Amino acid sequence: MRSNHSGYTRLTKTHKFIAAGLTAAGATGVVLGVVPAASAATHAPVKPVAWNAEAFGQTQDAELAKTADAAATQATTDAQAKVKAAADAAAKAKADAERKTKEQAASRAQARTALKPAAKPAAKPAAPAPKAYADNLDGWITQALDIMKSKNIPGSYEGIKRNVMRESTGNPRAINDWDVNAVNGVPSKGLLQIIDPTFKAYHVDGTSWDIYDPVANIVASCNYAADKYGSMDNVNSAY
C-alpha cells in the first residue's frame, strides 16, 4: 500500500484481491478487520491477509494451467479424430470405387456372353466309311465272310477257297452243262456251282439275287452247306 498526493490510500492489485475476499467473507470479516488497535494487542497475531490473496492467485493460475492443458489435449484429440475420419472416408470411397468398377466389368462380361451366338450342337460322328473289298477272289471271300459272321453262318477262308477252286477254279461265270443237274435243266452256276432252286432257298438278305454275283453265290452256298454238313469247311467233294 502506498499514499498518493491527494492524501488517500491507493490500493494495489494485491489489495484489490484482499478487498474482494473480504467482501465475499461477509460482515463478520469486516468487523474483524476494523478492530481498534488496543483490542488487537490483546489477541494472538493474525496471518497477513496479503499472504492468503497471493496463495489464492497461485491456485487460480494452477487451475487456469490445468484448463489450458485440458483444452490442448482435447484439441489434439479432436484433430486426430478428424484425421481418422478423413482417412476412413477416403478408404470407403476407394472401396466403393473398386466395387463399382468390378460390378461394371461383370455387367460388361455378362452382356458379351448374352451377345455370343448359341453354341452349335456337337456334330454326330460320321458313319464309318463302308469297308472296301478288292474285286477279286480274295476280296469276294473276305466280304462273304463278313456277311456270314453277321448272320452266324459258319465257314473259314481256307474252307471256302478250297471248294471254290475245285468247283470253278475261281471263275464267277462258270456253269456246268453236262452233269445230272444240267440234264435235268438246272445246271450248277457260279463260284461254288450252286443250282438256282438251292440258291433261292438259301439266299441271304443283303446280298444280290444274281446267282452269278460272286459274294451272293458264296454266302448262299455256305448257308446251304452249314444246313446240310455243318459248315463249308466239312465239304471236300461235290455237294
Rounded-to-integer distance, Cα 193 and Cα 2, Å: 169
DSSP letter for 35, please. Answer: -
Rounded-to-integer distance, Cα 168 and Cα 173, Å: 9
CB 178 within 8 A of CB 161: no
State the CB neighbour count (10 A cutoff) for residue 200. 12
Alpha helix positions (H), the chain: 13-25, 27-33, 37-40, 49-115, 137-150, 157-167, 180-183, 196-201, 214-229
pLDDT digits (tens, 9 = 90+) for 177-199: 999 999 999 999 999 999 999 99
What's the pLDDT at 54?
A: 63
Domain with CATH 1.10.530.10 in the chain: 137-234
CATH architecture of 137-234: Orthogonal Bundle (1.10)
CA dihedral 99, 104, 108, 110 (to 10 degrees): 50
pTM above 0.75, yes or no: no
Residue type, 183: V
The more confident residue out of 95 and 132 is: 132
**pLDDT band, residue 8 (cuts 50/70/90):** very low
At CA 66, angle to CA 64 and CA 72, rounded to 5?
Answer: 105
